[in-house]
Amino acid sequence: MSNYESYPSPHSPSAPRRLTRREHDKMIGGVCAGVAAHVGIDVTVVRLLMVAATVFTGGAGILLYLAGWWLMPRG
């Protein structure tokens, strides 16, 4: 058995999912839609959490969003 056979197939349910920005459900950059799809919750909940993080942390939510936009690949 080689090392390649021990890794799960990309099509198997146990394969790790990548955190990517979503193009089909985006409003600005697709970061919140990508996080929602990765976690498995509604995108509206993630957007509301980002607004709350921005309001209650004095703008750190915006920096977090920009970092996600820059670091997350398109999916």
Q: What is the pLDDT of residue 66?
A: 94
Residues 7 and 21: beta-carbon distance below 8 Å: no
pLDDT tens digits for range 33-44 = 999 999 999 999
Torsions phi, psi for 47 (to 5 deg): -65, -40
In a domain, 65, yes or no: yes
More confident residue, 21 or 3: 21
**14 has pLDDT over 70:** no
In a domain, 1, yes or no: no
Range of the domain at 27: 20-71
In a domain, 45, yes or no: yes
In a domain, 43, yes or no: yes
Domain count of the fold of the chain: 1
Q: What is the pLDDT of residue 13?
A: 61
Cα–chain center distance at 8: 22
